[in-house]
């Protein structure tokens, strides 16, 4: 018992993770609960699946064998564990991500998550000021592909746009040009607001290796990214013409992106089809 106490004292992050998953019933997060369990709460593998990380990584965090998890991983764990704002902030502090005016905010307030989880008729996602995807609803995953199946780089809209491209995204040349110009101008705004954030500096340095970004970055344009047009090419329902509406959140610098059906198209019917005939089935088509 004394050894256990020492281990807890030495690894408060692991102790918190164990306590948080121990209080969460599998059925409350949509998991089947058929077989008897020796302990209450979520298993490590279940938490890992919900957060989009490996079970071994969760074990390493709980046992103090892993390096400090990123803010994105902490946000994913907090989302999977259904933490409230205070609990999520506590988890971030334990992981070494105390609030810092020089760093862009990455904590998604419970109020924003609650709204995102209640909106089911439109794809919705929450990004930080450097366009790192932090939270999304099921219809967003069904439309564009499940973000939890990729790594953190796959969840950054800037990296996706300039380096790898999502195969499900279709834009005309004009739409693509406008989208990229607007994203870069928005990122320049972020660098001015958070000039000492090393993650932002690293992102800009990486993106500058691509000719298109480098060309746009040479322009002094500074502006907020507020809207875009794009078409989702879904393997089952086909093309879905969408308008991306970007909403800023108060005091957090998050970008809430709500994708709505483009007027004069059958996009809403297709979104309704995805939402009503099985979002989970659609997710398994990747």
CATH number of this structure's domain 110-283, picked from the four choices 3.40.50.10470, 3.30.450.20, 3.40.50.300, 3.30.450.180: 3.30.450.180
pLDDT for residue 233 is more than 70: yes
User: Of all helices (H) and strands (E), which one includes residue 205?
Assistant: helix 198-207
Statement: residue 6 has pLDDT above 90: no
Percent of the chain with pLDDT over 70: 88
Q: Measured between alpha carbons, how far is 14 from 239 in angstroms, rounded to an integer?
A: 45
Q: What is the pLDDT of residues 70-79, one digit of tens each?
A: 887 888 898 8
Q: Does domain 2-94 have CATH number 1.10.260.40?
A: yes
9 pLDDT tier (thresholds 50, 70, 90): very low
For the chain, the domains span 2-94, 110-283
Of 145 and 29, the one with more pLDDT: 145
User: String of b and e for 40-62 (b: at least 16 CB within 10 Å)?
Assistant: ebbbbebbbbbbbbeeebbeebb
Q: Is the pLDDT of residue 12 over 60?
A: yes
pLDDT in tens, 98-144: 666 788 888 888 888 888 888 888 999 999 999 999 999 989 999 99
Instruction: Classify residue 82 as left (phi > 0), alpha (psi -120 to 50) or beta.
Output: left
Q: Could you identify the residue written with the tokens 């794809």?
A: 123
For residues 286 and 148, what is the distance between their CA atoms, to the nearest angstrom? 12
Split at pLDDT 50, 70, 90, the class of 59 is very high
Q: Give the tokens for residue 12.
A: 């408060």
């Amino acid at each position: 018992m004394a050894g256990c106490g020492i281990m807890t004292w030495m690894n408060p992050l692991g102790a918190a993770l164990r306590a948080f998953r121990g209080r969460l019933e599998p059925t409350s997060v949509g998991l089947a609960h058929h077989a008897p369990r020796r302990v209450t709460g979520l298993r490590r593998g279940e938490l890992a699946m919900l957060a989009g990380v490996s079970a071994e990584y969760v074990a390493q965090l709980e046992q103090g064998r892993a390096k400090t998890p990123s803010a994105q991983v902490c946000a994913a764990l907090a989302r999977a564990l259904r933490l409230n704002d205070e609990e999520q902030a506590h988890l971030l502090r334990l992981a070494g991500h105390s609030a810092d005016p020089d760093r862009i905010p990455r904590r998604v307030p419970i109020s924003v998550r609650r709204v995102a989880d209640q909106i089911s008729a439109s794809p919705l996602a929450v990004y930080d000021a450097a366009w790192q995807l932090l939270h999304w609803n099921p219809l967003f995953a069904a439309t564009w592909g499940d973000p939890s199946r990729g790594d953190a780089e796959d969840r950054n809209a800037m990296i996706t746009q300039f380096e790898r491209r999502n195969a499900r995204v279709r834009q005309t040349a004009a739409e693509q040009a406008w989208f990229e110009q607007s994203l870069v101008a928005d990122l320049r705004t972020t660098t001015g607001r958070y000039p000492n954030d090393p993650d932002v500096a690293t992102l800009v340095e990486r993106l500058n290796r691509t000719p298109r970004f480098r060309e746009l970055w040479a322009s002094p344009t500074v502006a907020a990214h507020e809207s875009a047009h794009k078409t989702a090419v879904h393997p089952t329902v086909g093309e879905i013409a969408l308008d991306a509406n970007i909403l800023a959140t108060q005091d957090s610098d998050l970008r809430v992106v709500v994708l709505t059906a483009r007027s004069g198209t059958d996009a809403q019917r297709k979104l309704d089809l995805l939402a009503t005939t099985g979002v989970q089935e659609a997710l398994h088509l990747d």
